Structure 1
Amino acid sequence: MVVETIRGIFKQDESTGTIGVEFWVVVTMVTLRLKFAVGAIAPLYYSLRPLNNAGRAILLLNYSLVHYTLGLMQLSSSDEKPDDFFQVWAVLLVTLQYSVRIGIPYRKSKDMSLIDLLMSLWAANLIRSQTVLSLKIPLWFIWSVNALRIIAFFISSNSAFDIHTNNMRLVSNYMRYEHELGNPEDVDPATMAGYRYLVLGEGKQEMKVEPPVFKLELDVTNPDEMVTVERVWSLRGSRFLGGGGVDQDNRLKDVCLSFALYKLLRRRFGNLPIHEARQPKTKRLVFDYILQRGSKNYERAFRVTEVELRFLRDFHYSKHAIMFAKGFPGWRMLLAGSLVSAVMYLGFVVHRLSKSPDTDSKLFVTYCIIVLVVIKEVWEIAIYVLSQWTKVLVLCKYVKDSRLRHPLFECALGFFCRLITNAKWNQRIGQYNILVDVLQERSVLFAYRHLKGRFLPVKIKLQGEVKSALFESFSALRNANDNDLESYFPLAFRTNQQDIVSDISWAGDELEADTHRILVWHIATCLCEINLSDQASARTIYSFGIITRPLVKKTAIIADDLWEHYIAAVTLSNHCAYLVTQSLVPDNGLVMNKVYEVVQKEASSAISGCKSMADIYRNLTRMARTPDGSEGRSIVKMGAQLAEQLRLAYGDDEQVALWRDLSRFWRGFLLHLAASTKAAKHDVHLRGPGELTTHLWALLSHAGFLGSGSHGEQMLDPADLNDVLYIPAI
């Protein structure tokens, strides 16, 4: 039977003289599955940029195959003896074509909806053929539901864009005077008193303009519908959201906080003013609550930013923002449920009508398409119902409606919220060591490792020592401003008694851009790391045995404080070098890539003939001691000279002080990079599993540190702009 089914799929069509419709339906179905697979993977791995090209190719191939298959059905069918399976396949393929695209960004929604609608009309033309009544009823119902979804999405996408644009302006204007709505002395981050940040319901209020300033202000005409962060935290006696109830560690309330912060962070992409940046309570929210003062794991900081950035990713790269623009998309769920029921009923009807053995292959193809449609529709219902957007709506409904504070309702709400898991960042950070990468060029495994590192960068778990050190520097910004954030270089070496700052000031002030500084200090840190490692072990670490991660193990370092400083400095040094490879630094992408390529060539030439890390150290130390040529110093030579200056200034007896200062430098430098990198670049990397610098950027923004660079999508680099021209569906 299996052989006959396969043979039936490859059977030649008598009308056209080419391979039959069954084959092209199967091929189209396979491309639709590929389209969904690529769309599901691409947003999770931004570094897999070739997936964007694959997505473009599959998208074009998919539409071409659907067009060709529908046309072939018309040619192969005859008025005297129409094939009922053609009508079934046409409707199901068009439905599946729309269904596999669960998520799509705003910039593609209108075009895609029009194309889907045209295909739907083509399928309707096939249904008009002579078809038995038992098939016509479910087919027309499925076609009508699908067409209604396409039209409804086209209309809702237009209105959603206007709603979100107006909401961003409303939030921006509201934050201009939000601090004036209460007494500044009553502000308390622990209870969120005084934090009237908007969570939900502002769209149901009126706007007013009053003299003499004529500012656009929110007129709270319907206070019961208005939910703020302060109001969420005010339910301290609640069994569900109170401190002694289900939400003892504020995990549920933090979801509402993340949603409010997401609304504030959206303004960075539209160059809207951040009015609250200069308000003292803005910093207090981050330093006294989000960072969990006194805690060493800073779990809440990542928990808040994880959910916040998930909202932001959904806003830019999925249909969630469109669907939830006016509340929960109940109509969408109703249509999806109706479609599932109709498709399953269609399968029952097809089974009853197919009694001939010649239809086994056609029946098999039909069942495959039906299963795919059902899976996709159920999947769509699940991702919307069990999303963070739904959780926010449920929590705000609980805050607004006192009738839900019954133990039975609270138990049901608690169970439902537990089903919706928070989007957790895996806390893995990218690592890149330029000297290791160049050393591996001579390895037989270089091609494999280069491709793996290019498309799947090396990532390691963010260790507790690194996390604590990084947030220690972050917490030191409590009384700082944007200018202090730029002073990471002198602050890192301020305790050194040899006044080394003046000797190495050239490595901070004289370098043109952040890319140059990253690479110079990265090379210097690598050489200091090799010097710290045991020379015997360094000689045995050859190109085929080394990977991009700290070279020195914890067991090799006796002093605990030395290990803490060393692991923080090396990890963040490799991470900043990784950011250069990902174009996630403040500099212009074209210039940065050119500098990076030149430095790679310089490093390859400088360590030519080296077989181990010890050989690299000797070669570059020799280079640092040679006089500068007429063409000036290269980046690699500057890094070697900086390492030599650091070695002489600290000596072998002051390794703890050296790595303490290097750790402080890289921590401060990373915070500067995170704050100054354009919002548009962070936006592009939202599609991936998450970058540490993007989480830091969000926290710095909410603490009032807006960086020194311009922001907005119009400033996107050409390389990144090419990546966002097509965003696969998720």
Structure 2
Amino acid sequence: MEGYKYLVIGEEQQAEPEPPSYEPKLRNDAAVTTVEDVWRCNGKLFKGSSRGRYRDMCLSFALFKLIKRRFVGPTIDQLLEKFKLSENDVLILYVFNRFDGYPQVEDESKSRALVRDGLLSEDDDGKRAFEVIKSELGFLRDLFHTKYPVASNPWILICNFVLFATIAMALWIAMTVDRKTNAEHPITKVLVSLLILAEMWEFISYLFSDWGKVILICKYVKNCGPAFDRYHVDKILRVILWRNLSCRSLYEKLEQFSLLNSLKSCCTCSRCCYLLACRLPGTSRKLNQRLRKEKPIRLKAEVKKAIFLSLKKLLASESVVLTNGITTLAELGHDKQLGWACGVGDHAHADEHTHMHTIMIWHIATAFCEMKLPPKNKKGEGLCREIESRAAVAISLSKYCAYLVVFAPQFLPIHSHSSKIMFKQMFDEACTACSGRICRKITYDNMVKIKFKDSDATIISKGVKLGKQLMNLVKEDAKRWELLERFWAELILFLAPSEHAMAHASKLEEGGEFITQLWALLYHARVEKRFLEKKEHAGEHV
């Protein structure tokens, strides 16, 4: 981390406006702790097996200070353009409001190198990168939903302690002066005792929180020396850093939605619900309630590994541009035959093809291929481990992206009006695909019968066409599921960048979405440019 002067703590005391611009500047002196300082420290605290975890906690806090600028003030690109900063600058902008600082602004190549050569350099399939991002988002959640950002100010702690001690002393003196028997004295003693316990618990919970740990680590970094080793300060800190009494971990599950498995109600009723939603104000929200979500699944390490490999390949390329799966198809030699499903090629109808079309067409095609997988028997046999792993990744990401389209479009670069149109197509096409009056689970035979008409193609017919092409072009199951796994890993990275930062922050209190982790990771890598970017600015989502 040599040269990365990302700010961890110390900026609130050193902001000094200077002429001619009178912009607050910060000099890298003894009161400031940067990521570089933490990595340079060779104290005993950083010589154990947990040294990486302690340093990564400070890195997460520094990255948190960077990403919270998405919620107020200018973006990195705007600052670079305004101040003409280079990677060697130590200038740190400070905004005098509730937000307490801004890390050193680096150029694009160095910020990208931090993710590529730092977070993604470990041979752990992205485990460290996602842990750092999860810790960072934990700080972001605390910023909006807890008291720790306020309590981290030492003056607040001092004032709180003085106020508490003054009240407790005044009550005790009052009881001592009034020596007469008074029935209220025991009650007062109980209340004072409860107040003391509450204050002690608040202090201990803060001390053992990630906010308190970062401050303790930074104090250790700045004051590390022989005296610390003599009094075994590192051992005391290890006890405090070992346990977290107050932090709630982020949601480590993937929400799931399958279009083909969700509709089990009457087709006529579904059409009526859609017509009602179109005509009555305020009833459009009820429409997606008829689409049944599946049970969330655990976020597996295989999913993180697939995204880790896709992102690492992206950052290693000369032109770092997000693509919607077409790069994977090109690498495997299927871009000419299957590119239309990504809005690329002569038969793509690019003017009508949106990001939502790409998601749902490939979602249906993935479900089509899933139906041909042999069922697992009671002994756990049926698929080789490689195919099973790749299929699980592709299917889970496919259903997660479909869930985002239907239930959380605010995280995607799509428009609310497109969502309503997609709902209509979902209901109408599902009813057409089902035989009889009552909808049943759509089977492989039902889907094979669906015919594709280029002049009037529907989402389901396009998905079935793509599924048939996949079955015919890639006959080996292992290669077919490798294609789908790599495609969905690439597509979800393509969808992750978002201008709606508050949508991500508001969801953190409930545990957050997995796409929020990807959004933060790409933000720090300075990767936000999409290939074939479409004008699909999100409006008021349903």
Shared fold by TM > 0.5? yes
2:364 is matched with which residue: 500, 511, 523? 523
Kindly state the Cα deviation for residue 575 of structure 1 after the two structures are TM-superposed: 1.0
Is contact 1:287–1:293 with CA below 8 Å preserved after alignment?
Answer: no
1:693 is matched with which residue: 515, 518, 524? 515
1:227 aligns with 2:33: yes
Deviating more after overlay: 222-231 vs 271-280:
271-280
Q: Give, in whole Å, the separation in 1 of the partners of 2:305 and 2:131.
A: 16
> Paired residue for 2:25?
218
| Corresponding letter in the other structure for 1:265 | I
> Paired residue for 1:459?
296
1:476 aligns with 2:313: yes
Is contact 2:314–2:320 with CA below 8 Å preserved after alignment?
Answer: no
Q: Give, in whole Å, the separation in 2 of the partners of 1:485 and 1:642.
A: 22
**CA offset digits 1:70-112 (Å, max 9, x no partner):** xxxxxxxxxxxxxxxxxxxxxxxxxxxxxxxxxxxxxxxxxxx
1:387 aligns with 2:224: no
1:318 aligns with 2:120: no
Q: Give, in whole Å, the separation in 1 of the partners of 2:24 and 2:530.
A: 29
Aligned pairs, number: 477
Q: Give, in whole Å, the separation in 1 of the partners of 2:495 and 2:160.
A: 42
> Paired residue for 2:8?
199
> Paired residue for 2:236?
412
SS for the counterpart of 2:314 is: coil
Alpha carbons of 1:520 and 1:315: their partners in 2 closer, same or farther (altered >3 Å)? same
Kindly state the Cα deviation for residue 591 of structure 1 after the two structures are TM-superposed: 2.4
SS for the counterpart of 1:523 is: helix
Q: Give, in whole Å, the separation in 1 of the partners of 2:62 and 2:40.
A: 16
Alpha carbons of 1:647 and 1:394: their partners in 2 closer, same or farther (altered >3 Å)? same
> Paired residue for 1:570?
395
* Structure 1 segments unaligned to the other structure (5+ residues): 1-191, 356-362, 443-449, 538-551, 710-714, 721-730
> Paired residue for 1:495?
332
**CA offset digits 1:98-136 (Å, max 9, x no partner):** xxxxxxxxxxxxxxxxxxxxxxxxxxxxxxxxxxxxxxx
> Paired residue for 2:323?
486
> Paired residue for 1:438?
263
Is contact 2:9–2:33 with CA below 8 Å preserved after alignment?
Answer: yes
SS for the counterpart of 1:526 is: helix
Is contact 1:347–1:370 with CA below 8 Å preserved after alignment?
Answer: no
| Corresponding letter in the other structure for 1:304 | V
Alpha carbons of 1:587 and 1:498: their partners in 2 closer, same or farther (altered >3 Å)? closer
RMSD: 4.1
Length-normalised TM-score, structure 2? 0.75
| Corresponding letter in the other structure for 1:384 | Y
Structure whose CA Rg is larger: 1
> Paired residue for 1:427?
252
Q: Give, in whole Å, the separation in 2 of the partners of 1:704 and 1:672.
A: 13
**CA offset digits 1:225-275 (Å, max 9, x no partner):** 011111111112x1113xx23643x11111111111111111222362324
| Corresponding letter in the other structure for 1:658 | R
1:647 is matched with which residue: 463, 467, 471? 471
Q: Percent identity?
A: 27
Q: Give, in whole Å, the separation in 1 of the partners of 2:366 and 2:174.
A: 66
1:602 aligns with 2:428: yes
Q: Give, in whole Å, the separation in 2 of the partners of 1:273 and 1:497.
A: 38
SS for the counterpart of 1:484 is: coil
> Paired residue for 2:497?
675
Is contact 1:404–1:410 with CA below 8 Å preserved after alignment?
Answer: yes
Kindly state the Cα deviation for residue 313 of structure 1 after the two structures are TM-superposed: 1.2
Is contact 2:64–2:140 with CA below 8 Å preserved after alignment?
Answer: yes
Kindly state the Cα deviation for residue 378 of structure 1 after the two structures are TM-superposed: 5.8
**CA offset digits 1:364-390 (Å, max 9, x no partner):** 9x9999999788666544443332111
Is contact 1:201–1:225 with CA below 8 Å preserved after alignment?
Answer: yes
Is contact 2:249–2:511 with CA below 8 Å preserved after alignment?
Answer: no
Alpha carbons of 1:374 and 1:231: their partners in 2 closer, same or farther (altered >3 Å)? closer
Alpha carbons of 1:451 and 1:585: their partners in 2 closer, same or farther (altered >3 Å)? closer
Kindly state the Cα deviation for residue 635 of structure 1 after the two structures are TM-superposed: 2.2
Kindly state the Cα deviation for residue 680 of structure 1 after the two structures are TM-superposed: 2.5
> Paired residue for 1:130?
none
Say which structure is richer in helix: 1
> Paired residue for 2:525?
703
1:330 aligns with 2:140: no
Alpha carbons of 1:234 and 1:417: their partners in 2 closer, same or farther (altered >3 Å)? same
| Corresponding letter in the other structure for 2:483 | D
Is contact 1:623–1:637 with CA below 8 Å preserved after alignment?
Answer: yes
Is contact 1:439–1:604 with CA below 8 Å preserved after alignment?
Answer: no
Q: Give, in whole Å, the separation in 1 of the partners of 2:354 and 2:316.
A: 27
1:48-87 alignment runs, 5 A limit: none
SS for the counterpart of 2:496 is: helix
Is contact 1:433–1:577 with CA below 8 Å preserved after alignment?
Answer: yes
Kindly state the Cα deviation for residue 293 of structure 1 after the two structures are TM-superposed: 2.6
Kindly state the Cα deviation for residue 553 of structure 1 after the two structures are TM-superposed: 11
1:281 aligns with 2:110: yes
> Paired residue for 1:293?
122
Length-normalised TM-score, structure 1? 0.57
2:462 is matched with which residue: 638, 644, 653? 638
Is contact 1:482–1:706 with CA below 8 Å preserved after alignment?
Answer: no
1:618 is matched with which residue: 445, 456, 461? 445
1:137-148 alignment runs, 5 A limit: none
1:660 is matched with which residue: 479, 482, 485? 482
**CA offset digits 1:530-570 (Å, max 9, x no partner):** 12345x99xxxxxxxxxxxxxx9973213x33223211111
1:219-368 alignment runs, 5 A limit: 219-220=26-27, 223-236=29-42, 238-241=43-46, 244-245=47-48, 247-248=50-51, 250-270=52-72, 272-274=74-76, 275=80, 278-296=107-125, 298-325=126-153, 329-333=157-161, 335=163, 353=183
